[in-house]
Structure 1
Amino acid sequence: MALRTGLNGKVMLTLPSYGGLIGAGIGYAASLTPSLLPRGTFFMILVAGLGMAAGYAIGSTVEWISRSVVRFTASYPDRKIVLVSLLAIWIPCAILTPIALGWQYDQQDALNFTKGAPATVALFLGAAFLGLIFVCIGRGFRVVTRLLARAIALIPGLSTWVSASPERIRWFRSIVAAAWCVGSVAVFGGAFNAITVSYDSINADSSGQNPVNLGINSGSAGSNTDWETLGREGRFYVNNTMTSSEITRITGRPSSTPVRLYVGMQQAQTPEERVEIALAELDRVDAWARPHLVIYGVTGTGWVDPDAINSIEAVTGGDVTTVTVQYSAVPSWIGFLIDPQTSMDQNSILTKAVVNRWKSLPSDSRPELILFGESLGSMGTQGAWQAGDQPEEVTQDIQKIVWIGPPAESTLWKSWQAERTSGPAWDPVVGDGSIVQVIVTPETSGTANPNQGTRIVFAAHANDPVVYWSPSLLLSKPDWADSPLGPGVMPQFRWIPIVTFLQVGLDLVAGGEPPEVGHNYSAQMAPAVALGIDHPDWTSSDLERLSAALPNLRYETG
């Protein structure tokens, strides 16, 4: 059944679209195919319901166009044709449902996920219920638009003018629909602002955080940044620096105490002002005199991955200053979907400012620059360059770069995938392969690039939805979906218009991936950092000890 408005303005129930029912079956079946990650009960029912609703909408539209062109006078063809065609669609759907559940269990086993999926009947009925709700919401939008148009048209004088011709009625309804859309966008914007405010309050909350291990880090006495303005993640970060003894236990060599600098987004209103504070912090701690200087691109909440920063400090022997600037307090997936430009602006300004100051120093007495970015921070730090820039250009000043889990729209990652000289999109060979290396699994991290001293390391799982979801998935087949599929991707995976867009989009927010799967890079962090920095004193034994030590070195965040 469906909603519509009659000529008298009353809301009525009508029979569902014949084409819509066929499309819903196709959409349901397509949604059951494997995505990049396994789906639990809730997300499996949700994506199946979305597939049904999308299929219904497409089928209804095709039917409407066909009837308009062929001038059908009836909504339905012969009843026997209807019955046979619907059975031909929905019986295979019923058969496919338990098969699809088997695919989910196989994928969960292969990727070490906790087992869980709905029963066959629960999946089918749950998807049908959700699909009906989504269809009613869509129909309800049209009904509300028409009712609004009718109500507005009752304004004295306007009703007479609008009803003077069918053309005016159509235009009037279109104007009301457009106004409704604008209002919906405004409501959505208000909801996003409310979400932002809630995360801002979490970011500002310093309860349970006390400055006890700051040393000369940001937030300490004499710092240009106040403890309270560092943000929640910033306070965790500067308060948990590795000690020289912890580093020595890993390397067996004398070590220094690292320095951590952080500028919270509350410290200043503009990206440029925050970067000025960051430069002042670098000057304060004499970072330019240390052997290593790391520009760190944080995730959306301002989170600094403990495994990442501890790996950086261990590999460099603690003789390193790491600087970062917060640009947001919302999770990366929200920032990626709603406002990725903020990350790119802040990180680009920071990177360029540090490089320019570094260039002004004597070449024989300045630190080695290292760039690190994870998730949205990876995308943001790549914003310092343009699509088409080659690895040789990128590494002119910053010769050691590590990018972890770069989102699909990251400038260089996207460009170099498209321009690869060989290999699949999930493991591209960029140029002659001497500078850029992609870590897809831990096994691919053991070989150093032949061009010693200059390298760019990507860690990008073939089943990471952050790395491979993009708006283009809606209608365009991506290169990474071609054979051969990457490690951890089910052989039954197929790109399907609209459906794959929805599936991988929901993979973004599902979360809970075990190590080495999806957007969880805990197993690759130490190898990626060690390979990217390529410290001359670092050994494979050091890497083994670091990997074993990292779980015990993790500190509280969030």
Structure 2
Amino acid sequence: MRALSLAGTATGLILAALSATPSLLPRLPYEQGVLTGVCFAIGYALGTALGVAITALVRVPPEGWVPRAAWIILGVAAVGGSVPLARLWARTQGDLAGAGGAPRPGVVDGLVALGVALMTAAALLAFGRGVTAVTRRLARRLAPGEEHWRWLGMPSAMVVVTVVIAAVVGAAIYGFGTYTEWSYQRYNASGGAEEPASEFRSAGPESALSWDLTGHEGRSILAGGPSAHDIGSLTKTEAEEPIRVYVGVDEPGGWDDHAAAAVSELDRLGAADRGAILVAATTGTGWLDRQAIDSFEYLLHGDTALVTMQYSVAESWQSYTFHPGAYRDSTSALLDAVHDWWAAVPEADRPELFVYGLSLGSRAVQDSFEDAEALRAYGDGVVLAGTPYGTAMNAELTASRDAGSPVGRPVLDDGIAFRWFNEGIDLAEAGGPWERPRVAFLQHGKDPIVWAGLPILWSQPEWLEDGQRNDGIHPDMQWFPLVTGLQTMVDSMQDLAGPDGDGHRYGSTTLEAWIQVVGDGGYTSDQLDLIRQRVAGSDAPAGGDV
């Protein structure tokens, strides 16, 4: 076995150590282990390449004792630094876990992380050496004979190997995406909730929509939600039975056909006679946040009609990657169809019109409009939660914020039209007067879906700069090239693992936004507290969907 590279090992250990620093969310022990192993392997490759380059430039090999002394110093530093590093990891991960109500990591967790890190690093190192061996063999075949021909053949061989690796990785990603989408299709077709007997649901009696084609998430939404009795008994007020319309992705026809079917159901169920219509954009699997839509119905005494369309059966990242544009095209078709139907209702009898979107649903809503003013002018108010990083409209509005307001808590034009909610910020107090229609953006300071994109791999994000740091971020979190980007990728795997109100889970936080955008429904503070308790008690994670 070839000896390890000194420069590679040193660089790998540095990146591995940095991987133990805190990021946005707590990491499970095996996640920390994989992250540390990957960071070591990347550092090893970079350090080795740098060492080879320096050796080629200097051309004077060091004295024999120099490498031996360097290895000794490196070993002492690694052993000596391991204890304070372990303490840092335990303390900071404990802080993050404790903030989310999870248990603090113990000795066993640390050993698991260390073991997984060693196995991951060893596996990646072996793979890298295998690639190097293949490259050298190809170089000898492409340029046998003279030494300089071998050096000419090396880049050619590296190109070949890179293409092969890229093809294998691409095929693996495509295969994984295809398999998981097939799995979701089976899940989507599975039973789930029982068909409701309510006459105020689509896919029920006399509906043109099929219960069997509604999909797993759609059936759950149609079978769930508060009834008129639930609302009335809780608030001690008169209430109506909320209307819910859901069009599954498997319904025949294209997006325009699905949107027309949704509007037909609204008309059939008497939605024009309701006080408010809510057009909701789903996440990738067709999921809607139960707390968000329930709270809308509670606030308006059930005098509501919810309408939504499913555009995919896969998780949001898969839908966005493998079916680009579907999220936007379907949502745009629904928004246009509902608005045309709504505008045809006499103005004096016209219900209020609101829009809601979470995660990819939020991006779908924003991408469906030419600009922010068009979004605001669509109806009577908008609530968007967990907008994914890179969504153009949110990014442009944030960049135009008033001077002195941080990126995580932007204030635009003194909050006259658009407002952002972050931890500890009251929407009602985030600026001057808030004119209607109101647009509310919900974005937790520790939500990796909102804040972490590819640029974080090579540039420090604004939300980690002094004076701009997001609320709730661990004080020890710092930006490091490559490492912080990999850390936030791991964070994205845990974005729904925390409690309501943390990470990518907005749940009952949405109720507070609805109170500001829709109104308090004429409820007293005691009645609103009862609704808050009921909505908080219905907390249900998205089953891993983002």
Q: TM-score, normalised by structure 2?
A: 0.88
List structure 1 segments (4+ residues) > 6 angstroms apart after TM superposition.
554-558
* Among candidates 59, 66, 69, match of residue 80 of structure 1: 69
Secondary structure of the corresponding residue to residue 230 of structure 1: coil
Write the mapping of 1:463-478 to structure 2, written as runs, cut at 5 A. 463-478=446-461
Q: Which amino acid aligns with 1:131?
A: A
Which letter does structure 2 place at the counterpart of 1:109? G
Aligned counterpart for 1:181 among listed residues 155, 166, 169? 166
Q: How far apart are the structure 2 equivalents of 1:176 and 1:57?
A: 16
Instruction: Report the 3-state secondary structure (helix = DSSP H, G, I; strand = E; otherwise coil) of the residue aligned with 1:14.
Output: coil
- Amino acid of the structure 2 residue aligned with 1:496: F
Q: For 1:458, what is the secondary structure of its paired residue?
A: strand
Question: What per-residue deviation string (whole Å, max 9, x for no partner) do you get for residues 15-57 of structure 1?
Answer: 1222111111110121111111122222222222222222212
User: Residues 70 and 159 of structure 1: is their aligned pair in 2 closer, same or farther, counting only changes over 3 Å?
Assistant: closer
**Aligned match for 1:407, one of 365, 388, 401:** 388
Contact 1:442 1:523 in 2 (8 A): no
1:364 counterpart SS class: helix
Distance in 2 between the 1:557 and 1:21 partners? 41
Which residue pairs with 1:480 in the alignment?
463
Alignment-derived partner of residue 7 in structure 1:
none
- For 1:189 and 1:490, the matched residues in 2 are separated by 36
Match of 2:415 among 424, 433, 438: 433
Counterpart CA distance in 2 for 1:452 and 1:303 is 31
The one-letter code of the counterpart of 1:441 is E
Which of 253, 261, 265 is the aligned partner of 1:281? 265
Counterpart Cα distance in 2 of 1:145 and 1:353: 58
User: Would the aligned equivalents of 2:301 and 2:521 in 1 still touch at CA under 8 Å?
Assistant: no
Tell me whether 115-124 or 241-250 shows the greater mean CA deviation: 115-124
Moved more, 54-63 or 305-314: 54-63
Say whether residues 1:456 and 2:444 are aligned partners: no
Tell me if 1:42 matches 2:30.
Answer: yes
Within 2, Cα distance between the matches of 1:505 and 1:75? 43
* CA displacement, residues 112-155 of structure 1 (integer Å, 9 cap, x when unaligned): 222224555554454233222223233334445666x589x7xx
In terms of mean alpha carbon deviation, does 296-305 or 193-202 score higher? Answer: 296-305
**5 Å matches for 1:228-377?**
228-268=212-252, 270-335=254-319, 341-377=325-361
> Aligned partners of 1:21, 1:169: CA distance in 2, in Å?
24
1:534-545 to structure 2, matched below 5 A, reads 534=519, 537-545=522-530
Paired residues of 2:228 and 2:241 also in contact (CA < 8 A): yes
Contact in 1 for aligned 2:16/2:39 (Cα 8 Å): yes
Amino-acid identity (%) = 27
* TM superposition shift of 1:538: 4.3
1:196 aligns with 2:150: no
Moved more, 92-101 or 399-408: 92-101
Following the alignment from structure 1 to structure 2, what is the Cα–Cα distance between the partners of residues 170 and 193?
34
- Residue number in structure 1 paired with 2:123: 133
Q: Deviations over 1:407-430 (max 9, x none)?
A: 222232222222221421111112
Structure 1 position 210, deviation (Å): 2.3
Match of 1:105 in 2: 94
Q: Partners of 1:217 and 1:402 in 2: how far apart? A: 23
Question: Contact 2:22/2:93 (CA < 8 Å) preserved in 1?
Answer: yes
Contact residue 139 and residue 156 of structure 2 kept, 8 A: no
- Structure 2 equivalent of residue 10 of structure 1: none
Contact (CA 8 Å) 1:241, 1:259: kept in 2 or not? no
CA contact (8 A) 2:259 2:334 kept: yes
Residue type at the aligned position of 1:294: L
Q: Write the distance in 1 (CA, Å) between the matches of 2:440 and 2:354.
A: 11
How many residue pairs end up in the alignment? 536
For the 8 Å contact 2:189–2:216, the answer to whether it is kept is: yes
Structure 2 counterpart of 1:57, one-letter code: A
Distance across 2 between alignment mates of 1:249 and 1:514: 28
TM-score, L = length of structure 1: 0.87
Alpha-carbon shift at residue 343 of structure 1 (Å) = 2.1
One-letter amino acid of the structure 2 residue matched with residue 243 of structure 1: S
SS of structure 1 residue aligned to 2:426: helix
The SS at the match of 1:453 is: coil
Q: What code does the residue aligned with 2:196 have?
A: V
Structure 2 equivalent of residue 8 of structure 1:
none
Q: Give the root-mean-square deviation of aligned CA atoms.
A: 3.2
